Structure 1
């Protein structure tokens, strides 16, 4: 449910009622993990998924029934045996809780709004679709009198959105910000040029900052959750920014440019006192080898490398690997 928090809040703020189908159990192979959800507003609009599209049509009707006064309920899907019966094609079995979100307690809806804002959130659901929550930072639900008599069917947690710092506000940054925001990153765009660093150019950004990047970084230290992407092609900006980023615990530091630009940049960084160990962390030329060259294709290449690094994956084609596709 928390994965669709922004959509839920948008509908609630528009005065709608909202029902959700939340994936609470997975057995065997399935397209989505526990916590994935499909939401239906009282205006009939839908968002999200709990499968590859195999069972959502049935869930629309179930969600509508809940909005029409029906009770929250559990439903399971496996391989459909009869023609026209909703079921999964991947061989697994999923259990889904169909419930109304708009009737949750104020505390529970507060957690939904936290998730929508990219903050950490925690919520537990029982089989009746009721919820209880935890104080931020607490690993267990708050004692609201229910914990002793009810067991959670599923506990949903969402961490704060992963911060992505994009240095340089050119067209590649526009494409990268749009794609990264859609993937759940909290993107901060940083550029000293007022003409380029505008919210109008970056409507999906968490923040757009007009400042020299090294000066901003001096006041905003990076953490191990940060990814830093430098897209400026200007050594006056690149070198001090990368020197600061490489000295930080940032998980990913990458810079766009040709191999010639990279070699020239590395020499400038060495002159600036950056160690060989720190330089070994620099991803440049940036991105995975996907072959594209447009700003959008380049953004995909860059974000794919950021996501690969975040999950400690290989970046190889799944057809050449073994083991489970999901849940790694």
Structure 2
């Protein structure tokens, strides 16, 4: 749901009734991942998508029904071998979808509205909803925000270790606190998925399935070296939804005119900028300077940071020489093993745009666990990060 937070937040502000269908889990080759959503308002206006077209019509009708009767429903869709034109996923996957009415006066609306507002404003937030369990709890929600986002909490929020949460499930009070803590962990990792938990907040007892959707600011891509290849990489990075910074010590090259699509341009020695800037486990660092006086102090620091990816441009000869220099300044073999150099996948790239595509492909493969080989003739999964379908009763939940 948080993937369409900006539009849904406007609906809330306008006082519209709507129902939202959210992908809970997928199995096999499904087109959308958990958290993808389709919403329908009382006038029949639809936004978002849950399947890329395969089951949109059926899900649209489920939303209209939920708006009418006020009941949440969990529905499973899969490929029909008997009738290829029946409602189902022709890609052969399975998809579970939770449909929740969000009408003015519904108990779930304040929590969902708080989550939508926070996500729409770019804040880090997690929305937790019960997917399977007792009928009166399905669809109930709470929203989690980090402590630094709201130091004092709002009037309706309650603290947990690491932040605040609003809303609740209306069951055992420990359930709210436990789910808030678990959702906070999902939020810290920028992860969306499901968890299983007992009705009283323990790991035993009647199980509940809870969907946790995380919305976090875009991950960072920092490109060191204001060269023509960097300009192409900035464009690709923005296309992949990174917040892109270009850093170079040479003011004549690091200009807005040369990098109009960059979110930030920094004129500073690369290693000094990296020392003071904020990075996290989703940050990717692309070193395109291939100049030892910049590369060595920069990579010495970069390879010791908890970032997602470190790649460096250069020929194989440059790579070998750079590794010697890095060892001389104390970089260990374990740290060197993290370095992607020469940067990018083997696409035969020559132009800046082709090289940027090669680098981006390696970043995606590294993030998703892909091999980088052609899918033609391969027997590897197309999607490497599929979330398993949760156990429990699937179908109509009154």
Do these two structures clear the TM 0.5 threshold for a shared fold by scoring above it?
yes
* Gaps in structure 1 of 5+ consecutive residues: none
Give the aligned partner of residue 132 of structure 1: 142
Query: What is the SS of the residue equivalent to 2:112?
Result: helix
Structure 2 counterpart of 1:294, from 341, 346, 351 = 351
* Contact persistence 2:19–2:66 (CA under 8 A): yes
Cα distance change, pair 184–144 in 1 and its aligned pair in 2 (3 A): same
Deviation at 1:281, TM superposition (A): 2.9
Rounded Cα–Cα distance in structure 2 between residues aligned with 1:50 and 1:73: 17
Rounded Cα–Cα distance in structure 1 between residues aligned with 2:238 and 2:124: 16
Cα distance change, pair 44–144 in 1 and its aligned pair in 2 (3 A): closer
Aligned-residue CA RMSD (Å): 4.2
Rounded Cα–Cα distance in structure 2 between residues aligned with 1:110 and 1:260: 55
* Contact persistence 1:28–1:93 (CA under 8 A): yes
Cα distance change, pair 291–248 in 1 and its aligned pair in 2 (3 A): same
* Contact persistence 1:24–1:154 (CA under 8 A): no
Q: How does 1:151-170 map to 2 (within 5 A)?
A: 154-158=210-214, 160=216, 161-170=218-227
Give the aligned partner of residue 97 of structure 1: 98
* Contact persistence 1:231–1:255 (CA under 8 A): yes
Deviation at 1:231, TM superposition (A): 1.7
Deviation at 1:102, TM superposition (A): 8.7
Give the aligned partner of residue 56 of structure 2: 56
Q: How does 1:134-213 map to 2 (within 5 A)?
A: 134-136=144-146, 142=165, 144=167, 146-148=169-171, 154-158=210-214, 160=216, 161-192=218-249, 193=251, 196-198=254-256, 201-203=259-261, 205=263, 207-213=264-270
* Contact persistence 1:66–1:100 (CA under 8 A): no
Give the aligned partner of residue 338 of structure 2: 281
TM-score (normalised: structure 1)? 0.74
Give the aligned partner of residue 294 of structure 2: 237
Query: What is the SS of the residue equivalent to 2:146?
Result: coil
Cα distance change, pair 288–131 in 1 and its aligned pair in 2 (3 A): same
Deviation at 1:175, TM superposition (A): 3.4
Deviation at 1:101, TM superposition (A): 6.4
Rounded Cα–Cα distance in structure 1 between residues aligned with 2:231 and 2:11: 30
Rounded Cα–Cα distance in structure 2 between residues aligned with 1:14 and 1:290: 48
Rounded Cα–Cα distance in structure 2 between residues aligned with 1:118 and 1:94: 28
Rounded Cα–Cα distance in structure 1 between residues aligned with 2:12 and 2:293: 45
Rounded Cα–Cα distance in structure 2 between residues aligned with 1:165 and 1:326: 25
Rounded Cα–Cα distance in structure 1 between residues aligned with 2:66 and 2:270: 49
* Contact persistence 1:229–1:254 (CA under 8 A): yes
Deviation at 1:262, TM superposition (A): 2.6
TM-score (normalised: structure 2)? 0.63
C-alpha offsets along residues 127-182 of structure 1, whole Å, 9 cap, x if unaligned? 77553223437589947453318987642232644433221344433433343344
Give the aligned partner of residue 87 of structure 1: 88
* Gaps in structure 2 of 5+ consecutive residues: 132-137, 148-159, 176-198, 200-207, 387-398
Rounded Cα–Cα distance in structure 1 between residues aligned with 2:94 and 2:51: 10
* Contact persistence 2:71–2:100 (CA under 8 A): yes
1:315 aligns with 2:375: no
| Number of residue pairs matched by the alignment | 324
